[in-house]
């Protein structure tokens, strides 16, 4: 069974800065959490 879609849960309106929190990715670059999640989904060929 191939996974075709993903649901990304985001913070509530009261926590709107959480998904944009900056983290260091595997390559050592600083990115927003949401960008890291999207990059991982694309690498896994999930839309």
Q: What single string gives the DSSP state of each residue in the chain?
A: ------------GGGTTGGG-EEE-TTS-EEEHHHHHHHHHHHTT--
pLDDT recorded at residue 30: 92
Mean pLDDT of 6-11: 79
pTM: 0.66
pLDDT at 43 over 60: yes
Q: What is the pLDDT of residues 18-38, one digit of tens each?
A: 556 888 888 899 998 888 888
Top pLDDT among 7 and 10 is at 7
pLDDT at 8 over 70: yes
The separation between CA 22 and the C-alpha centre of its own chain, rounded to angstroms, equals 11
pLDDT recorded at residue 33: 84
- Cα dihedral 13/14/16/21 (nearest 10): -160
Query: What ranges do the domains of the chain cover?
Result: 1-47
The CA–CA distances, whole Å, from 5 to 12, 24, 25, 45 equal 22, 25, 23, 9
């Amino acid at each position: 069974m191939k996974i075709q879609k993903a649901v990304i849960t985001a913070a509530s309106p009261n926590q709107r800065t959480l998904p944009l929190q900056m983290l260091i990715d595997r390559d050592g670059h600083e990115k927003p959490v949401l960008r890291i999640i999207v990059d991982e989904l694309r690498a896994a060929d999930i839309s």
